[in-house]
A = this chain, B = another copy of it.
C-alpha cells in the first residue's frame, strides 16, 4: 500500500512538471507570436491551452483521490496541498499566455508599432521566474524560491516603465496607433500577473519545505517569522 502510494505521488509530481513545461512553452510561444508576428504561434498557444486545461483537471482529481483514499500526513500532505495550488497557478499562467497570444493576433493584423519597448525583456524575466519556481519545487530549494519571489519587484518596475513610455508615445502618436499601444500596455499587465503567479508558486514551495506560510509576510522573510505548524492538532 505504502509503495503504491509513493508511486502514485511520484507519477503525480511528474505530471505537474510536464504541465509546467507546457505552460512555460505557451508563454514563450505567446511572446514569440507578438515579437515575430507569427500567426502559427498564436494557434500553437490556443491548442496547447486546451490540453493544459485538461491536465489541470486530471491533476486535481488525482490529488483529491490521494487525500481521500490514502490519508496522507506531514510531508506528503503538504506536498499534495502544494500541488493543488501550484496546479491552479500554472493554469492561470496559461490563461495569461492565451491572452497575450490573442492580443498578438490583433496586432499582427495591423502595421508594426515600432517600439515593443521592454516587453521582450519583461517576458523573459517573467518566463524565467515560472521555470525557476518549478525548479525550486523539484529541488525543495527554499533559497532559490526566495530569489524568484524577490524578482517580482523587477517585473513590477518594468511594467511601470513600459506604462510611462507608452503613455509618452500615446500623447504624441497618431490616433491609429492608440489601439496598438493599449494592447501593449495590456500585454505588460498579463506579464505582470505571470510574474505574480510565479512568486506565488515560489512562496508555496517555501511553505511546503518549511511548513510555514510566507505569503503576505515577505517583509519578514529575513527576520523573525512565527512558526505555525499546520499539522499540529489543536
Contact = CB atoms under 8 A, between A and B. Distances in A.
Interface of A: 8, 53-54, 56-57, 60-61, 64-65, 67-69, 71, 73-74, 77-78, 81, 84-85, 88, 163, 167, 170-172, 175, 178-179, 182, 185-186, 189, 213, 215-216, 228, 230-234
A167 B178 contact: yes
Contacts of A171: 175, 178
Contacts of A74: 68
Most B Cβ at <10 Å: residue of A54, A74, A172, A213: A213
B77 A68 contact: yes
A213 B213 CA distance: 28
Contact of A54 (B68, B175, B216): B216
Contacts of A69: 231, 233-234
A230 B65 contact: yes
Contacts of A78: 64
Contacts of A215: 53, 56-57
Nearest to A233: B69
A77 B8 CA distance: 19
Given A167-B179, A167-B182, A81 B57 contact: no
14 contacts: A53-B216, A56-B216, A57-B215, A61-B228, A64-B78, A65-B230, A67-B67, A67-B81, A68-B77, A68-B230, A68-B231, A88-B88, A170-B178, A171-B175
B84 A232 contact: no
A73 B81 contact: no
Contacts of A170: 170, 175, 178, 182
Nearest to A85: B88
A213 B62 CA distance: 12
A80 B99 CA distance: 31
Nearest to A95: B196
Contacts of A64: 77-78, 81, 230-231
A230 B80 CA distance: 14
A65 B216 contact: no
Given A67-B77, A185-B186, 18 more contacts: A54-B216, A56-B215, A56-B216, A57-B216, A60-B230, A61-B213, A61-B228, A64-B77, A64-B78, A68-B230, A68-B231, A69-B231, A69-B234, A81-B84, A88-B88, A167-B179, A170-B178, A189-B189
